[in-house]
Amino acid sequence: MPAAPQLISPRSPRVTAARRLVKRNARGKEQRFLVEGPQAVREAVTHRSGSGPVLVELFTTVEAAERYAEIIGDARDQGARIHLADDAVIADISTTVTPQGLVGVCRFLDTPFDAVLAARPRLVAVLAHVRDPGNAGTVLRCADAAGADAVVLTDASVDLYNPKTVRASVGSLFHLPVAVGVPVDTAVQALRETGVRVLAADGAGPHDLDTELDRGTMGGPTAWVFGNEAWGLPEETRALADAVVRVPIHGRAESLNLATAAAVCLYASARAQRAAGGCRSVTEG
C-alpha cells in the first residue's frame, strides 16, 4: 500500500488543483493535463519525454491501489506523488460517468512541429478543422494503430489535452509524436517541402481511393488532411493539397464518419507503403 496520506475532502488543495485541469485555460497555464483509468495511467507511467517521466501525480482509491499495485509501484518508483483518495475525491476530479479509481496528472508532451519534420515522417495525420474531442482522440488512436509517424493538430482544431480527447485516444497520445497549434497552410507547405505528398480526405473529392491504390501512387511518404465533422474541408484547405481523395461508398450509406474515413485512409497508405517489402505473416516469430 502506498505510504501516502488519504485525501478525505474534495476541498484538499491537491484535489482543487487537479480539478482545475478540466478547464483549458488552467491546463495551458500549468502545462498539465489529466489521464483516467488503468490503461491511460499505465501508458503515462511508461512514457518518457526529454524532461523525464510525464506522470507527476496520481490519485487512487484503496481498491484501485490494490487491484493495480504494479502501476502504483511503477509510478512511485518514477517519482510521481501518490495520493490515496476515497470515491468522492476521485469522482470530483474525474470527468467520466463511472470512474475507475485512478486519475493521473501529467506534463504536456506535444512535440515541436520542427522535430516532426526533422524525423522525415512517412505517414502523418493532419487534423485541420476537427472540433469534436472524441473524434480527435479516435483519429489519433487510428493513426497509432496504422503505424503513422506523427499527428498534427492545427490551430483550428480541438485541444489535444481535452479530457475527452485524451480518453478517446486510449493511451495512443503517449505512443507517437503529436504537434499542436500549427496553421494548416504552414503544416502542408512544410510537409511538402520534406518530400511528403499531401492528400485531403473529402467525400466529394475528384480522386477515388481505390483508383489511387490501383495506380500505385500511395506508396510514398503521405500526409492525410482531415476536416471538420460536419462541413468537411473548406475550399482553401482543399486547394493546398496535392490531391483531394474520397473514400468510395460501395453500398447505400450516405457517408462515413470522420474517424472511420480516417482509419480507411491511413490503413490504405500503410498497406501501400509496406507492399514493396511484402507482409510478414502473423505466424512468423
Question: Which pLDDT does position 120 carry in this prediction?
Answer: 96
CB 15 within 8 A of CB 93: yes
Of the CATH numbers 3.40.50.1010, 3.30.1330.30, 1.10.150.120, 2.30.40.10, which one belongs to the domain with range 6-107? Answer: 3.30.1330.30
Question: Which helix (DSSP H) or strand (DSSP E) does residue 105 occupy?
Answer: strand 102-107
Cα 251 from Cα 243, distance rounded (Å): 24
CATH number 3.20.20.80 is the correct assignment for the domain at 113-275: no
pTM, whole model, 2 decimals? 0.90
Regions in the chain scoring below 70 on pLDDT: 1-8, 50, 276-285
Q: Which of 194, 227, 198, 201 is nearest to 121 (CA)?
A: 194
Q: Where are the CATH 3.30.1330.30 domain residues in the chain? A: 6-107
**Residue ranges of the chain assigned to CATH 3.40.1280.10:** 113-275
Looking at residue 183, what is its pLDDT?
A: 96
pLDDT of residue 1: 43
